[in-house]
């Protein structure tokens, strides 16, 4: 089921109404059942996969608790089954193609075994959410849960099931287990989040997505047209993905559950490290905690001398850990080499940021005048990354990188400028929200929603006006081309 459908609207209204009429246990039964209906709506066989994941991770965590001596065995078992399922359904064709290509280069022609099944949408997200629980139990950050119902509702929680944010057991499980009370203030905030999320998706992401799709459908776009398309894609992916996160948060809030904020105006980051603190926060912190830190510690332990070449062991461990982590994160996004390149590119940026940061650490001063330049520079670097992310054909990618602005025709320059300004125009509300947050200090929607005990009349009026304007904007300006959420593919 997708959020922007009549099916979901009916499902949501019925579920919320029934949910608040039930006691906690009944709410969790409804959450689990509702999440399974939501997930299996189009392809019921997807439910088998999520059920297997749930049973394996519930059992492995419980096993660690009951048989502490076999903790590692249970961890490896859970890792093998979770990553095995993910690898099989997401990466089988990719690896089979590459093995066949490698064998063909060696002169062996082999038939390519192709797996003709749909990629189970959301599998990357719920697998990581479930794995996080098992690893946390292994590290004894959280106790293993006895209730299969609670663990099942945690793993399959429908608002964030398909495209995140990936929630941690430490944050979401206690909310699933605890008593929840309906809060009109939370519902009000949730309504604003939903309105803003749907506006971002249907008006901004889908309209600029059409521009990006048109440009990337061209065989040989000129320099300015291509980069206007990349710019449009940069807006599309941010608006689209953050829209999903806002809608997920809004839906969860209506159910009395808080999901974490997954984006913090990433295009105002001043460097790669800050960008990843602001972009897909739940995924980047997941990779930081469960991949980067273990890998970096392991690398650091293996380094015998304190200093190698130019830098100390800790820096080399950071660089090695970061490159490995970002390559893995790239591959997580999709079974294609361009995602690996994108991940590697960001790994190099993060490593360079660390190295440059070390050499400049002592000289660093607060230079406010540099901030706009740093933001602009990081925005350009991010967009270069989006070219790697969006262009799945490597030959085309090489061609794009070889384009020169000086070989553009007059029409190419004008068309590029037109597409750039059109994408900018559609995304004005997004930039206003980010600018407000950066310079006003608070998120615009959050500021409007407020948490005050006594909402004042003017704030209520502004909230109502804002919600109504967003809905009017959706009615009038929504794209006639409805695109899927981009992260459904990952």
Q: Return the active site residues.
A: 333
| Number of residues engaging another protein in binding (CB under 8 A) | 47
Which of 118, 293, 472, 484 binds another protein (CB under 8 A)? It is 472
The verdict on 40 binding another protein (CB under 8 A) reads: no
Give the range of 56-64, 164-172, 273-281, 466-474 binding another protein by CB under 8 A.
466-474
Which of 469, 481, 482, 484 binds another protein (CB under 8 A)? It is 469
Q: How far is the CB of 258 from another protein (least distance, A)?
A: 17
Length of the chain counted residue by residue:
490
Closer residue to another protein in complex, CB, 15/195: 195
Site for another protein in 382-441 (CB under 8 A): 396, 410-412, 414-415, 417-422, 424-426
Q: How far is the CB of 478 from another protein (least distance, A)?
A: 9
- In three-state secondary structure terms, 145 is coil
Furthest CA-CA distance within the chain: 76
Which of 363, 366, 453, 458 binds another protein (CB under 8 A)? It is 453
Is the Cβ–Cβ distance between 284 and 274 less than 8 Å?
no
Among residues 40, 316, 330, 305, the alpha carbon closest in space to that of 162 is found at 40
Give the range of 236-244, 294-302, 338-346, 448-456 binding another protein by CB under 8 A.
448-456
The verdict on 105 binding another protein (CB under 8 A) reads: no
Dist. CA 19–CA 13, nearest whole Å: 10
Dist. CA 473–CA 490, nearest whole Å: 29
Q: How many CA atoms, within 13 angstroms, populate the side-chain half-sphere of residue 314?
A: 2
Tracing tokens 């604003």 back to the chain, one arrives at 192
Q: How far is the CB of 331 from another protein (least distance, A)?
A: 21
Closer residue to another protein in complex, CB, 432/475: 475
Cis peptide bond prior to 144, omega within 30° of 0: no
Is the Cβ–Cβ distance between 39 and 31 less than 8 Å?
no
Q: In Å, what is the CA distance from 390 to each residue of 100, 397, 488?
A: 25, 9, 15
The verdict on 446 binding another protein (CB under 8 A) reads: no
- In three-state secondary structure terms, 97 is helix
Dist. CA 486–CA 209, nearest whole Å: 10
Q: How far is the CB of 118 from another protein (least distance, A)?
A: 13
Site for another protein in 177-236 (CB under 8 A): 183-185, 187-188, 191-192, 195, 214, 217-220, 225
Tracing tokens 């999901």 back to the chain, one arrives at 259
Tokens of 220: 């040989």
Q: How far is the CB of 219 from another protein (least distance, A)?
A: 4
Dist. CA 387–CA 385, nearest whole Å: 5
Q: How far is the CB of 216 from another protein (least distance, A)?
A: 9
Closer residue to another protein in complex, CB, 221/234: 221
DSSP state letter for 112: P
Closer residue to another protein in complex, CB, 256/343: 256
Task: Put residue 164 in one of left, alpha, beta given phi > 0 → left and psi -120 to 50 → alpha.
Answer: left
Is the Cβ–Cβ distance between 29 and 149 less than 8 Å?
yes
Closer residue to another protein in complex, CB, 191/374: 191
Give the range of 157-165, 265-273, 292-300, 474-482 binding another protein by CB under 8 A.
474-482
Which of 33, 37, 477, 483 binds another protein (CB under 8 A)? It is 477
The verdict on 255 binding another protein (CB under 8 A) reads: no
Dist. CA 337–CA 339, nearest whole Å: 5
Closer residue to another protein in complex, CB, 315/338: 338
Closer residue to another protein in complex, CB, 145/188: 188
Q: In Å, what is the CA distance from 321 to each residue of 128, 332, 336?
A: 19, 16, 22
The verdict on 366 binding another protein (CB under 8 A) reads: no
Dist. CA 36–CA 157, nearest whole Å: 9
Dist. CA 61–CA 135, nearest whole Å: 8
Tokens of 55: 């049973």
Closer residue to another protein in complex, CB, 302/414: 414
Q: How far is the CB of 345 from another protein (least distance, A)?
A: 23
Is the Cβ–Cβ distance between 243 and 209 less than 8 Å?
no
Which of 11, 94, 311, 471 binds another protein (CB under 8 A)? It is 471
CB atoms within 10 A of CB 406: 6
Closer residue to another protein in complex, CB, 102/417: 417
Alpha helices in 334-370 (DSSP H): 337-360
Which of 102, 475, 481, 489 binds another protein (CB under 8 A)? It is 475
The verdict on 87 binding another protein (CB under 8 A) reads: no
Q: How far is the CB of 335 from another protein (least distance, A)?
A: 15
Which of 460, 481, 484, 489 binds another protein (CB under 8 A)? It is 460
Q: How far is the CB of 5 from another protein (least distance, A)?
A: 9
Dist. CA 233–CA 389, nearest whole Å: 10
Can you give the binding site for another protein, defined by CB under 8 A?
6, 183-185, 187-188, 191-192, 195, 214, 217-220, 225, 396, 410-412, 414-415, 417-422, 424-426, 453-455, 460-461, 463-469, 471-472, 475-477
């Amino acid at each position: 089921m997708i959020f922007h459908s009549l099916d979901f609207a009916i499902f949501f209204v019925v579920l919320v109404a029934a949910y608040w009429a039930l006691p906690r246990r009944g709410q969790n039964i409804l959450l689990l059942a509702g999440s399974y209906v939501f997930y299996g709506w189009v392809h019921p066989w997807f439910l088998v996969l999520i059920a297997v994941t749930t049973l394996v991770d519930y059992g492995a965590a419980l096993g660690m608790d009951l048989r502490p001596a076999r903790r590692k065995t249970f961890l490896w078992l859970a890792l093998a089954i979770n990553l095995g399922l993910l690898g099989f359904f997401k990466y089988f064709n990719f690896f089979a193609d590459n093995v066949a290509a490698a064998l063909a280069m060696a002169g062996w022609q082999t038939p390519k075994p192709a797996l003709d099944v749909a990629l189970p949408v959301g599998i990357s997200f719920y697998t990581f959410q479930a794995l996080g629980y098992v690893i946390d139990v292994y590290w004894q950050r959280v106790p293993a849960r006895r209730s299969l119902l609670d663990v099942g509702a945690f793993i399959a929680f429908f608002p964030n099931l398909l495209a995140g944010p990936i929630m941690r057991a430490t944050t979401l499980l206690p909310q699933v287990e605890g008593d929840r009370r309906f809060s009109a203030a939370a519902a009000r905030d949730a309504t604003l989040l939903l309105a803003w999320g749907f506006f971002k998706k249907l008006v901004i992401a889908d309209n600029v997505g059409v521009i990006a799709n048109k440009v990337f459908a061209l065989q040989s776009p000129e320099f300015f047209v291509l980069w206007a398309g990349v710019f449009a894609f940069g807006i599309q992916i941010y608006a689209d993905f953050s829209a999903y996160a806002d809608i997920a948060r809004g839906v969860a809030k209506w159910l009395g559950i808080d999901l974490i904020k997954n984006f913090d105006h990433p295009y105002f980051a001043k460097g790669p490290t800050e960008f990843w603190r602001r972009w897909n926060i739940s995924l980047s912190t997941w990779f930081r905690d469960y991949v980067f830190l273990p890998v970096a510690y392991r690398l650091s332990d293996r380094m015998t001398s304190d200093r190698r070449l130019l830098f100390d062991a800790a820096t080399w461990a950071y660089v090695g850990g970061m490159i490995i982590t970002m390559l893995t994160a790239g591959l997580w996004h999709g079974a294609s080499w361009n995602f690996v390149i994108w991940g590697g590119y960001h790994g190099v940026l993060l490593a360079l940021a660390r190295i440059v940061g070390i050499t400049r650490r002592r000289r660093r001063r607060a230079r406010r005048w540099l901030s706009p330049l740093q933001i602009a520079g990081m925005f350009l670097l991010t967009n270069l990354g989006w070219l790697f992310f969006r262009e799945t054909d490597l030959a085309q990618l090489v061609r794009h990188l070889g384009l020169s602005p000086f070989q553009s025709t007059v029409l190419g320059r004008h068309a590029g400028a037109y597409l750039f300004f059109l994408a900018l125009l559609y995304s004005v509300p997004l930039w206003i929200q980010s600018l407000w947050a950066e310079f006003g200090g608070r998120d615009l929607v959050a500021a409007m929603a407020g948490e005050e005990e006594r909402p004042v009349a003017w704030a209520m009026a502004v909230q109502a006006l804002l919600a109504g304007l967003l809905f009017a904007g959706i009615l009038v300006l929504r794209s006639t081309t409805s695109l899927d959420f981009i992260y459904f593919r990952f």
